[in-house]
Amino acid sequence: MSDWTPEAGTPPVSTPEEPDPPQDGPVADAPSFEPAEPAPLGVERTPTGRAEVDALLERLADADHLPADGHTEVYEDVHRGLKDALTSLDARPAAAPGPPRPGPTPAYDNTHDHRS
């Protein structure tokens, strides 16, 4: 062991038998630049009672297992489906084909009646 001590203000120097002291600051707290693994958001989906809409909302769960750059495709697909479902609510049902409706009865014209 040595009797040598550093002067005040001098950073400590480690010797081969001593481990380096933990460092504070930017090196110890350096952020990781690796993307985080996909994780479910845990958003609860309340059933709407319309099978088509409920299926689209369940499709959102597919994004839980994709990296962020894959979310756009799922969101656009669900948005398109919901838009179509809303548009279909505004459409009037087509008239069912049936027998022709009788029109007005023509007035009897006896001018061409040539009976004698």
The per-residue pLDDT for range 63-108, each reduced to its tens digit, is 888 888 889 999 999 999 999 999 998 887 777 777 777 766 666 6
CA 62 to chain CA centroid, Å, is 8
Q: How far is Cα 55 from Cα 78, in angstroms, rounded to an integer?
A: 9
Q: 45-67: buried (b, 16+ CB within 10 Å) or exposed (e) per residue? A: eeeeeeeebeebbeebeebeeee
pLDDT in tens, 45-74: 889 999 999 999 999 888 888 888 889 999
Rounded to whole angstroms, how far apart are CA atoms 85 and 6? Answer: 77
pTM of the model: 0.47
Confidence of residue 22 (pLDDT cuts 50, 70, 90): low
